[in-house]
Amino acid sequence: MSEIPHILEKLEGTLLYDTLTAIEKDYQNIYEVQKIWYEKTNFLCPDGCGKCCAGFEPDLMDSEALYMAAWIIENQPFIAEQIAKKIFPFDNGKTCPLYNVNSKYHCSVYGGRPMICRLFGASSFFDKEHNKTWRPCKHLSDEFLKTVHLNLEHKTYSENETISYIGAVPPVMSDLLESSASFLTDSKKTVLLREILPDMINKILWIIHMNGNDNPNGSPNGAPNSPMAA
């Protein structure tokens, strides 16, 4: 089921619709392969951790920024209205500007978060010899890693070691990206989240406005701030 059904309805027939449906399909695919890994290993981040969002702000490709913008317009219209004016209401200067310190789950755009936030801590990679390799998130404490009986001497594990410690290797990041239609067709030029997100929100609102829907379900009232080409 789509996380942005009303926005898609308003954009049907446009290029933006195609981009949004492609990246949503890619995100769903990532979710499904990671779900298999989680079910086999039960290796979940500690409750309410959020350390990976500290001192970090994602760089976004156009398609990721577009999806995040659509998700915020659909699910948090009043926040979208502020971000469209370059105001980030959760910004505390120390974390990603979308990190909500007052929420147990921290990420205020969880359903619209970009690839890096979906893959970090839940993917593996190929080493120089093309062997599948897994490195647990660097923010996990030794105490936490001891609970799953990991060898703490090197913290980088071969496929066999990973299977013996936790039961399965997470999906390989490059495989996921190579099977991602939106990643392959994107320009891959990335821009810092706080620079690109306001423009993308305004772009979507403008196109919805041009389609004759000034007040889309789940979007702020009124016309967008600045017109941008589709």
Which residues contribute to the site for ligand SF4 (CB under 6 A)? Answer: 53, 56, 58, 96, 98-99, 107, 109, 113, 117
Nearest distance, CB of residue 120 and ligand SF4, angstroms: 8
**Residue number with CB closer to ligand SF4 (117 or 207):** 117
Closest residue by Cα to residue 98 from 131, 57, 126: 57
| Percent of residues in the chain assigned helix, strand, coil, to nearest 5 | 50, 5, 45
Nearest distance, CB of residue 23 and ligand SF4, angstroms: 15
**Residue number with CB closer to ligand SF4 (56 or 165):** 56
Nearest distance, CB of residue 128 and ligand SF4, angstroms: 29
Cβ burial 64-82 (10 Å sphere, 16+ → b, else e): bbbbbbbbbbbbbbebbbb
The SS3 assignment for 42 reads: coil
User: Measured between alpha carbons, how far apart are the two ends of the chain, in Å?
Assistant: 25
Closest residue by Cα to residue 66 from 12, 4, 121: 4
Nearest distance, CB of residue 35 and ligand SF4, angstroms: 18
Nearest distance, CB of residue 50 and ligand SF4, angstroms: 7
Please name the amino acid found at residue 47.
D
Task: Check: CB of residue 40 under 8 Å from CB of residue 178.
Answer: no
**Residue number with CB closer to ligand SF4 (46 or 167):** 46
**E strand or H helix at 192:** strand 191-192
60 - beta bridge partners? Answer: 191
Nearest distance, CB of residue 49 and ligand SF4, angstroms: 11
User: Number of C-alpha atoms within 13 angstroms, CB side, residue 154?
Assistant: 7
**Residue number with CB closer to ligand SF4 (107 or 204):** 107
**Residue number with CB closer to ligand SF4 (21 or 95):** 95
**Residue number with CB closer to ligand SF4 (113 or 209):** 113
